[in-house]
Every structure is written in C-alpha cells, then in structure tokens.
A and B are shown apart, each in its own frame.
Chain A
C-alpha cells in the first residue's frame, strides 16, 4: 500500500483504508454484490440434488456439506443431498453438545457444529514455504503450490460468514496480504442457510451477525418443510440459479422464511450488553473477576480452536532427518498456551487469568481498534465447547456489574 502509516494512539483512517483495500482485492473476481437484489426462487426438497449438480457444473467439483458424524455436525465431502443430517437437531449448553433425532424432513434444523469455515480458509496447518539445502550448504526457498480444489460449502451460517469477513480483514491487510488464505478463500463457493434453529448458546442477534446471512455468500437459502427459498449473493450464484429455471417463491413462502429467521433471533436468550465493550473492559483490567475465571479456566485453548475469528498461529519447521529439505509451516496456536507469550527469558502471561483476560480484552476490546468491530460474532461455540462451561456472556455480565465497576 502507498498510504503512509502514522503512529497515532489509535489506528487511524489510513490503516483502515489499507485493511479494506486488501480486503477488496481479496474479494475481487468473486463477484460478490453487497445487498444484491435477486428474486427469491423456490426449490422443492426433492430437487435439492439438482442444485448440487448445478454448483458442480459451475466448476465446484468438491462439495462439503453438514454431516452428522460421531455425535456432531461436521463439514464433510458429500456426493448428494442424501448425506445431509435430515431430522437431526443439536442441543447446546455451556460445556454441553448433543445431537438428537427430532424427526421431520429438514436437513438444516440445527445451529452449528464445532467447526466453522475457519479450517477451510485458515488451515490448521499450512506450508508457508519450502527450503532445500544442497551439499554445499546453499539454501533454496520455494513458495508452495497454491491451487486448492474449487469447493462449494453447503449450509454456511450467518455467524460464520461474519467471522470469515473478519478473517478476510486480518489476513488480507496491507502491506502483506496472505496468499494462502486468499487462494483458499477464492476457491470457495458458499451456500448459506439462514438460521432457524439457534442453540441455547447462540447470541448472534446481539452482535448483529445473524441469524440472517447478509453478505459474503454466493447463494442463501431458507429451509421450509417443503423445500427452500433461494436467493443469490453474487453473479456466479445468480448464474447457478438461472441454470435451474426455478419459479419465484410465493409471498407466503418468503413470509414464512422471514418469520422463522425473526423467531430465531427472538429465541436467543444470551447476549452481550453492547457491540463495543472496549472502554468498559479496558477500565476493568484489574477486576477481581479475572482471578475468579482464571481459577475455573483449564487454559486448554478449546475456545480459541472453535472460535471462527481467532487467528493466532505458530510457525514451525518440519523435515526428514536427512536434513535435505524442510517445510516451514504455520499451525493454529492459542493465547491460552504458555508458549504464546514466550520471550526467551520470561512469559508475558504466566497465569491463566492473564491469558483469559488477553483473550477477552482482545476479542471484545482491542479488536475494535484493529478491525473496526468486535471479534465476536455471537456463535457461542466457546461456551459450548469449553470443558468447564465458561460463558463469555456471563463473564462479561459479571465484569460489567455496576457495583464492581472500578472507574
């Protein structure tokens, strides 16, 4: 980027412009149209495979869809709609996740599994470069091949699209946009499903990120008992829809779809008190509640692994014992590990309370200064998958109790 970066107390407009310019560059070519107006069409349930075929015809030969497997909904390669988790629902609470068969025709009547889109764009392990050493000790560095298979993901949630957008900002920012993330992102065709069955741990309505998918998808659908109300969010999504020659959805179908999304928002009982908690948290860095959470937290890092926006990663070298070549890789890391703040002679965050405070004040505080919004999209996975049930919404509520305010 050409803009000078000024050292101001808060990141200033030029920085933001750099971030958004990188972000726009990342999206270039995918043809996303924000607020694209397309006529909603109706796809009957038994025609779902024709949609999958049309997506394949559009060049996305690999389809990932939700599958009920080993007790959880996960994205796996699917061949047809028959693999979808028809009749499955999920029951989520703090530290609790169970699938249950609730019957009925629907394939998307659940909230989400542990995995967001994150592993598809920010891979858990990624080769950044390779290096060869010859007999004379000379080194040759090579970029890895960046041609991920074109992949369509069926059943993407609004919260995960919002998180993807945040990760696009992070990995797309100037002056070093990440080519690995960009290539993976560009390989995806995203079929969102507006959420009608939020879990008890969901609070996307309060963060403003769901339950309706608003942007960043190619197609979005609402599931009704009889079928799907479909609309496009990109030119290539529109092309897929046009190939299907579907009739417009009826006013009743659209109204039913909208009312289910509204009901999904109403059903959420967890929430964050504000979309910007930066100042409130910064004012409470010495609050006694950090100690209290620190005693419960196992520092296991589950929350950061399931969080769709957490981006920390470690860099490691890996190679055969012959030493002839090495791959330099990045792998997911967590601010809950001791090594995350390792400084050679000391740890910046030796105690668990300091790690939890780092995570929360980053996610809900400093994230605003870095990316212009909170780093939380309200998916609630950190609540569900915490082995001791630490609840971000409950901890924030305690921290913000007026009696304990320290300012």
Chain B
C-alpha cells in the first residue's frame, strides 16, 4: 500500500508571524450535543485568514480561550466545505469547561491546522472501515463526512462505534442518516444497554463478526481509548487484515502543537506533529506500553 504524505497543507510560512500566534475566530453557531458535549462553529474574523485555512480530516486546531489557555481539538467538518470550521468538544478540563460557556458572537483564538490527518489517498478505491469508541468519534467524523460527500471514490463504508453508556452516543440522527446511505453499514454497541437502544450491547469488538470486513479491500481507521484500539487491532489482525491497512489516531498532552514543548512524546514521536494519526506499524512497539 502506498504511504502518501497525509500531512495537511502548510499555510503559514515562518516569516509571516510567530509560528504559534492564534487568529481570531467568532462563534457563529453553538450546538449542545449532550449534557457535556457541545459543537462550536467558528468563523475567522479576517476573511484573508479564512481563505488561507485548509485542513485534512484527522488534523486538529489549537483553540484559545482568552486568559485561560489552549486546547487541541480536531475538526469535524468536511475539509472542503465552505463556511465555518466545526469543533465538537467534551467539557472535561479547565479550558474545555470555559469554552463550553461561549455563546454565538463570542470571540476566541484558533491556530492550526496541525499534525497529520487520515490517509485520504491510500483510502481511495478501498473499503473504509471506521472503528471508534467513546468520544473517539470526533476525530473520524470529518473523515466519514469526507467519504460521504465523495461516495463514488470509495468502496464500502463500515462504521463500528462503541460507547460506554447509551447516552454517550452523540449524533444519533447522523448515524441513522449514514446508515441509510448506499453501500454503508453502521454498527453500534454500548457497554451498558438500556431502553431505546435497538443496537448491540457489549464492547465494540462484538461488532467485527457482523461487519463482513474484506481484509484484502479494506483500510481501517481507529480512534478511541487505546485499550479499545488495541483489542480491535488484535481482532482485525485475526481477520487477516494486514497491519499496513491499519491507521489510528491517538491523544497526548499537547501544549504547543508544533513539536517544541515535549509533552506529547510517545517513544520517538511527537504526537502533535508526527500524529495524531499514525500508521499502525509505526506505533506498534509503543501501543499499550504503560508510561509511553
């Protein structure tokens, strides 16, 4: 399989301004997805900046809440869609709880995009299998939307999503819409079932046997808690999916986004620049090793 450069366009030269100085954006729409998850639609206040902003699914921006700090958040919108950039965020820390309070019209800072996204070129013509768990969904949503908008360029689209509780499933309508699309299969599982949960109960790995994954045609993109990804990879390898067909997005503490601050290192990699999407053979020695 070819290994394309799946880095996004580098739209800022080092001479234009500090490499890590944010641009001002405005909240133009805000959607409360669940009690703790929300989506911000952000528009650049400088039209020039908006024109220069291009990203690839799987990349992320650093969002800056004035006076509080920055946090890395992946984009969920289609990279080629006109209009605002969408970020889906869970209120979990100091910055994300603050961002939660922003309303339409409020301003914040944004810099990016950073890191490497999903391997779009390698995925063309292949079955795209997306395996996600928990909130891990957000970094692959942009990829799913990308495939949906260009359906003829890809084979089957298989979405396997696991959540802890049935309440954790965001974008339920969206899943139902995806399910109805041609050549697309959506399988959902919740660790804990409940009323109004017509899907599977158990770990995401219970879904593999029904997914009908063709190991020779598939490219797999995983995102979610690392134990979930590791268990899923074991299952996929047992299904004879070659390791080279596996890609995964991981998270670490990121403060600079540009490979300087050192927090996000996993073995030799700076996740902020070498990731967050990795080719599985790269990460294999480090995945699941406590402390890395």
Interface residues of A (CB under 8 A from B): 1, 4-11, 128-129, 131, 133, 137-143, 170-171, 173, 175-179, 282, 285, 311-317, 319, 323, 326, 328, 330, 333, 335, 339-345, 348-349, 351, 354, 357-358, 362, 366, 369-370
Contacts and interface: CB of A to CB of B under 8 A. Distances in A.
A143 B260 contact: no
B107 A319 contact: no
**Chain B interface, >50% SS class:** loop
A351 B291 CA distance: 8
A10 B268 contact: yes
Given A139-B109, A317-B68, A357-B291, A7 B253 contact: no
B258 A176 contact: yes
B92 A345 contact: yes
A138 B20 CA distance: 19
Task: Report, nearest first, the 9 A-B pairs whose CB atoms are least far apart.
Answer: A354-B291, A369-B268, A312-B262, A4-B5, A176-B258, A176-B19, A366-B268, A129-B21, A315-B255
Contacts of A351: 291
Given A315-B69, A345-B92, A140 B292 contact: no
A239 B289 CA distance: 55
A163 to B, nearest CB: 15
Contacts of B21: 128-129, 141-143
A234 B67 CA distance: 44
B291 to A, nearest CB: 3
A234 B244 CA distance: 49
A319 B10 contact: no
A9 B282 contact: yes
B17 interface: yes
Interface string B219-262: 00000000000000000000000000000000111011011111
B22 interface: yes
B3 interface: yes
A214 B92 CA distance: 51
Given A4-B7, A175-B14, A319-B67, A348 B252 contact: yes
A287 to B, nearest CB: 13
B260 to A, nearest CB: 6
A329 B253 CA distance: 17
A141 B24 contact: yes
A282 B267 CA distance: 9
Contact of B260 (A140, A176, A316, A340): A176
Nearest to B106: A137
B263 A341 contact: yes
Contacts of A7: 3, 5-6, 116, 274, 278-279, 282
Nearest to B92: A344
B261 A141 contact: no
Most chain A CB neighbours (cut-off 10 Å) among B64, B69, B107, B262: B262
B37 interface: no
B261 A362 contact: no
Interface in B55-108: 64, 66-70, 92-93, 96, 105-108
A316 B109 CA distance: 15
Contacts of B290: 354
A328 to B, nearest CB: 8
29 contacts: A1-B10, A6-B3, A7-B278, A7-B279, A9-B282, A11-B274, A128-B18, A131-B64, A131-B66, A139-B108, A141-B109, A171-B260, A176-B19, A176-B259, A177-B19, A178-B260, A179-B18, A179-B19, A311-B260, A311-B262, A312-B263, A313-B255, A313-B262, A317-B67, A333-B262, A340-B263, A341-B263, A344-B96, A354-B291
A5 B106 CA distance: 37
B265 interface: yes
Contacts of B10: 1, 175
Contacts of A316: 69
B148 interface: no
A169 to B, nearest CB: 11
